[in-house]
Amino acid sequence: MIDAPLVQYVKTSDGYDIAYAVCGEGVPVIRVPQLWSHFSLQWSSGILDSEFRQWSERFKMVLFDNRGQGLSTRGLDESTSLADYERDIDAIASKLGLERFILLGISYKGKVAVRYAIEHPERVLALVLWKYIDAFFESPSVKSYGDIARTDWDLFTRMNPRINWPAKDPSVVLSVNRAATTQLDFLRQKTALAESGDSALAKLQVPTLLLAPRGESRPMSGEDQARRAAAIIPNARLVQFDDALGGLSTSDGTTPPAILAVEQFLQGIASGDAPSIDHDSSNLSSRELEVLRLLAAGKSNPEIAKELFITRNTVQNHVGSILTKTNLNNRTEAAVYARDHGLV
């Protein structure tokens, strides 16, 4: 069994000390942590130890705490932006001399990984987004929940374990979360992450795998957002899992399906077998793909217009263009096409 790794430090270009650790052998994976990060305590307290172990049995895992979190420098600058978080990844990759690595982005921080992969496609062998969520605190139902972080930190830190870690002892998660960050740093991180990353998704050029739980109806589960992202990202592959942990839980100690999916994905890349759901043959733009996905979900043009914040005429133009490019005759055929190509 792999033990909790030793913590090391690297300084970012703007002066933050970032705590990181390397464990396991194989293809390097840099894991961009979730909102609450304290990998050392998350490992030793048993909150994420099995997840960390599972990954590091198959890969050379690089765990770290983002600026303002865990064992990294606390006290975020007021102007901290999404781009600043990329510096943390940059510093670690340089220090370890990693030329090519898998970038693993967790839930709401997936957008940090997305931006990094867009700017450094030569370094990112593959982008893996686990439970990708672009709009979290920005979605209407979660906004009020996020506001509680400002008005009632005690309650917010107590709710998080119950909402996001239902299988763990809430008191343990609570103490880890409280050790992971301060209210001020959490709020500054929240502000930085409010910037949407979805608009950037279409620019991704690296092979991308989205891992998401299936069929959860809670607003923060992100199933919807992962599907949406998969439709926008060129050549993305979406794999869904039925378990509550999004493919990372196993009852019998075998390798979790999400990790197996990453291995398969890598094999596909290595064998030159483009991990593609074949968008390219039709040359559909990312916007057209989005329209096609909604159309296939049975939405009318006015509904699609509303959802995408565009006019009905624009939707009509997109639909026309989709039919031309795919050489199809009508919406129904387009819906079938979407299904055949794994879009819905």
Partner 1 sequence: MEPRIAFTTRKDGVHIAYATLGDGPPVVYPPGAFSRLEAELSHPAFLEFYSAIAQDHMLVFWDRHGVGHSDRNRTDFSCDDDVLDMEAVVDALGLTTFPIFGISDGGPIAITYASRHPQKVTCLVLYGTASNRESEAAARRAIGDLFRSDWWLGTRAMVTKFVPTAPEAAAREMSRILSETSTAEVAAALWEMPYTVGNLLPKLNLPVLVLHRRNDKVVPFESGREMASQIRNARFTPLAGENHPPAIGDWNSVFEPTMAFLKEVESGEVSRPDQSGAKPPEIDDHLSSRELEVLRLLAAGKSNPEIAKELFITRNTVQNHVGSILTKTNLNNRTEAAFYARDHGLA
Residues that bind partner 1 (CB under 8 A): 140-145, 147-148, 150-152, 154-155, 158-159, 162-163, 166, 170-171, 218-219
- Nearest approach in angstroms of CB 210 to partner 1 is 25
CB of 155 to partner 1, least distance (A): 5
Least distance to partner 1 from the beta carbon of 222, Å?
15
Q: How far apart are CA 300 and CA 309, in angstroms?
A: 14
* Complex with partner 1: residue 218 or 306, whichever CB lies closer: 218
Compute the least distance from the CB of residue 253 to partner 1, in Å: 24
How far, in Å, CA of 270 to CA of 234, rounded?
18
Which residue lies nearer to partner 1 by CB, 6 or 167?
Answer: 167
Nearer to partner 1, 172 or 269 (CB): 172
Contacts of residue 277, defined as CB under 8 A and 6 or more positions apart, other chains included, come to 235, 236, 237, 341, 342, 343
Q: DSSP letter string over 228-286?
A: HHHHHSTT-EEEEE-STTSS---SSSSPPHHHHHHHHHHHHHHTT-----S-GGGT--H
Say how far residue 250 (Cα) sits from the centre of its chain: 21
Q: Quick count: other Cβ atoms within 10 Å of Cβ 210?
A: 26
Nearer to partner 1, 150 or 339 (CB): 150
Backbone angles phi, psi at 325, to 5 degrees: -60, -40
Residue with smaller CB distance to partner 1, 148 or 179: 148
162 vs 339 by CB, closer to partner 1: 162
CB of 131 to partner 1, least distance (A): 18
Looking only at the bridges linking them, the beta strands covering 17-23 and 8-11 are: antiparallel
Cα(137)–Cα(89) distance, integer angstroms: 24
Task: Quote the least distance from Cβ 46 to partner 1, whole Å.
Answer: 16
